A and B are shown apart, each in its own frame.
Chain A
Amino acid sequence: MVKVKVVERPPADLVVQSWLPELWKGMKVTGRHFFVNLLTQKGIVTSQYPEVKRVYPPRTRGKHRLMRREDGSVRCVACFMCSTACPADCIRIVAGQRDDENEKFPVVFEVDFIKCVFCGMCEEACPCDAIRLDSGVHRAPAYTRKDELNGKEDLLSLGSLSVARQGGDLK
């Protein structure tokens, strides 16, 4: 059951209807803000953006990055887990074959930042620690929709080495 809280309406008596006491109350509020902020600047919440930048919180996600193996190749095995988990359908992968034991790798790995909602589902779905959403690099707007597509090279350039093993350290 939804709890309904009934807000009591004060009776609109002559004092209220005359407006003046209520106006006086309102002007006390605005006047207090005026003088406090004029003299002490205590309440001001503006941050002077280009000069003063806010520190991002430590869990900021930012753009995706693709991690590398020790030999420098991309960790991704093109399993499509991220694009399956993606609620915005913003990841496009074309898989290809490679000749070592890893067998499969992404020929194309594209994230469409115009669609991405930065929810982190791809990171959670990834079984290989290949995609991470922790670069902290802000997604800058682009002039064309095509520029919003970030390919494998772009995402790898943000990436770094990962030595994680599938299944963790458990035998």
Chain B
Amino acid sequence: MPTLTIDGREITVEPGTRIIEAADRLGIDIPRFCYHPGLPVAGNCRMCLVDTNRSPKPVASCWDPCQEGHVVTTNSPRILEARRSVLEYILLNHPVDCPICDQAGECELQDLYFAHDHQASRHPFHKHHKDKARVLGPQIVYDAERCINCTRCIRVCEEVAKAPQLVQVQRGERAYIDVFPGTQLDHPYSMCTADVCPVGALTTRDFRFKCRAWLTHGIQTVCGECSRGCGIRADVYRNEVQRLVPRHNPDVNQYWACDHGRLAYHRFETGRVAAVRIGGATTDYAKGVREVAEALPGAALRGVAVVLTPWMTDEDAWAVVTAIRSVAPGATFAVGGAAPGAADEVLVLADKNPNRNGLARVLADLAVTPVALDEIVAQAPALGALIVFGAEHAKAEALAGALARVPLSIVLAALEGPLTAAARFVFPSTSPYETDGTWVNEQGVVQRVRRAVQPAGDVRDFAVWASDLADRLGQPLPAPARASGGNP
């Protein structure tokens, strides 16, 4: 266990730890471009130079391992001058087109220029021009002029996605990143290359020119596209999700997220259930809840069946089950959910529902034994009421048929589909970016989902709907449930 001193502060680290990691632990800021904690070390940008007592020359702190008795200086005049010189070289042919660059505002080059260089270009000749707006793949656009050749993107493809699709071609000032001839950058984690890119060289086609980084505010939430539950940050501007970027979570997804999950917010931009409907006619939310509350006790005499969705948060599940059992103690519950899909070795899991694990735990807590979905479909003609939560169910067609045969059929969903077409009562509910609550992923990690966007109109969380229904039935839910529902 080597003990070393960085800027006069001592730290003991495991053998093999790089100086830059030790400095990060101490909170000492060493500028860097090519170093990324989730990637192997390349040591090519020379931005992280530090002075040590073991070497006459400055060394790259991202490469040099900590040794016993190391004395590291990160802020000597020589180091500051070295950083300034490195930056000047990096910026030699940089186009400085920040006004049209999507990275502006979150650009490491921009930040470090203002922190360490901050001088006008001394380059008296024309700058070297390279390709701009070169499409590398379905998700990524590459600007060779802005590129500083740190090779983070190449390492992401090789080490994280296990798909070595990018390569550095040419040398010196002519070097740039490219795909192999006749191929394109199309692996399922290609957008991570844009995330790790410290400058605006790699940008996602999804976010390109859409909004400026500084206008958005990031909401820390969780991706719902599979049961991995990757941590994501939803960047919101004017109450619209502008993009999703992965959030560092060492227990779940490290620094990464798949392209599909990051583009999933587009699914909730169209085809939303816009208003409460009774028998196809638009009505207001209060009236819808009132009519359900009037019809439900009568229907409960014949039997009530509920199809829950593993997209609902734990709070939603608790409120829904509690409210419905208050009027129909004998109600049967089933768990629906999207069909299993493809999985890979990196992050994507086969179960495409984010909270199956959490839902099972809540049901167990409430002593509910869910029945099979097919059983409910088979019982449908004898039922008094069938309530379906969510639109994404593997057996949607069968469920729609069951809904059509039940006198009181209720669907609460964010998206239109065969279920909303078949049900008599349709309530709009929140998308995963509009809800607030808790999900438990397949590994059992409990994560908080946060409301990034305020829902419009009569869109309500399942828990809010259940709470309002319970109020109407004269059996209000306990106060904490109402608070967690978070009525917009």
A and B touch in the complex (CB under 8 A): yes
Which A residues are closer than 8 A to B by beta carbons? 77-81, 84, 95-97, 101-104, 127-128, 170-171
User: B212: CB under 8 A from chain A?
Assistant: yes
Can you list the 4 inter-chain pairs with the closest CB atoms, starting with the nearest?
Answer: A79-B99, A95-B209, A104-B100, A80-B212
The contact sample of 14 A-B pairs, CB cut-off 8 A, is: A78-B100, A79-B100, A79-B212, A80-B211, A80-B215, A95-B209, A95-B210, A96-B209, A97-B209, A102-B100, A103-B133, A127-B99, A128-B99, A170-B120
A101 to B132 Cα, complex, angstroms: 8
Q: Which residues on the B side are within 8 Å of A104 (C-beta)?
A: 99-100, 209
Smallest Cβ distance from A79 to chain B, in angstroms?
A: 3
User: B214: CB under 8 A from chain A?
Assistant: yes
Q: Which residues on the A side are within 8 Å of B98 (C-beta)?
A: 79, 127
Smallest Cβ distance from A82 to chain B, in angstroms?
A: 11
Q: Which residues on the B side are within 8 Å of A103 (C-beta)?
A: 97, 100, 132-133
Smallest Cβ distance from A102 to chain B, in angstroms?
A: 7
Smallest Cβ distance from A75 to chain B, in angstroms?
A: 11
Known: A78-B209, A80-B215, A104-B209. A97 touches B99 (CB 8 A): no
Q: Which B-chain residue is minimally distant from A81 (CB atoms)?
A: B99
A-contact 0/1 string along B7-50, CB 8 Å cutoff = 00000000000000000000000000000000000000000000
Query: Cβ of A77 and Cβ of B212 under 8 Å apart?
Result: no
Known: A101-B132, A104-B209, A171-B124. A77 touches B215 (CB 8 A): no
Smallest Cβ distance from B117 to chain A, in angstroms?
A: 16
A84-B214, A96-B209, A171-B124 known, 4 other contacts, Cβ within 8 Å: A79-B104, A80-B212, A104-B99, A170-B120
Q: Which residues on the A side are within 8 Å of B124 (C-beta)?
A: 171
Smallest Cβ distance from B113 to chain A, in angstroms?
A: 15
Smallest Cβ distance from B201 to chain A, in angstroms?
A: 14
Q: Which residues on the A side are within 8 Å of B120 (C-beta)?
A: 170
Which B residues are closer than 8 A to A by beta carbons? 97-100, 104, 120-121, 124, 132-133, 208-212, 214-215
Q: Which residues on the B side are within 8 Å of A81 (C-beta)?
A: 99
A95 to B100 Cα, complex, angstroms: 10
Q: Which A-chain residue is minimally distant from B123 (CB atoms)?
A: A171
Q: Which residues on the A side are within 8 Å of B99 (C-beta)?
A: 77, 79, 81, 104, 127-128
Smallest Cβ distance from B133 to chain A, in angstroms?
A: 6
Smallest Cβ distance from A86 to chain B, in angstroms?
A: 11
Smallest Cβ distance from A34 to chain B, in angstroms?
A: 59
Known: A97-B209, A104-B209. A84 touches B215 (CB 8 A): yes
A149 to B121 Cα, complex, angstroms: 41
Q: Which residues on the B side are within 8 Å of A78 (C-beta)?
A: 100, 209
Q: Which residues on the B side are within 8 Å of A96 (C-beta)?
A: 209
A78 to B99 Cα, complex, angstroms: 8
Smallest Cβ distance from B209 to chain A, in angstroms?
A: 4
A38 to B110 Cα, complex, angstroms: 69
A85 to B211 Cα, complex, angstroms: 15
Q: Which of B100, B208, B212 has the most CB of A within 10 A?
A: B100
Q: Which of A79, A84, A102, A170 has the most CB of B within 10 A?
A: A79
A50 to B475 Cα, complex, angstroms: 71
Q: Which residues on the B side are within 8 Å of A102 (C-beta)?
A: 100
A127 to B97 Cα, complex, angstroms: 10
Query: Cβ of A77 and Cβ of B214 under 8 Å apart?
Result: no
Smallest Cβ distance from B123 to chain A, in angstroms?
A: 8
Q: Which residues on the A side are within 8 Å of B209 (C-beta)?
A: 78, 95-97, 104
Query: Cβ of B212 and Cβ of A84 under 8 Å apart?
Result: yes
Q: Which B-chain residue is minimally distant from A102 (CB atoms)?
A: B100
Q: Which residues on the A side are within 8 Å of B215 (C-beta)?
A: 80, 84
A171 to B124 Cα, complex, angstroms: 7
A101 to B214 Cα, complex, angstroms: 24
A128 to B99 Cα, complex, angstroms: 9
A79 to B97 Cα, complex, angstroms: 10
Q: Which residues on the B side are within 8 Å of A170 (C-beta)?
A: 120
A93 to B100 Cα, complex, angstroms: 13
A128 to B132 Cα, complex, angstroms: 20
Smallest Cβ distance from B264 to chain A, in angstroms?
A: 23
A9 to B121 Cα, complex, angstroms: 68
Q: Which residues on the A side are within 8 Å of B104 (C-beta)?
A: 79
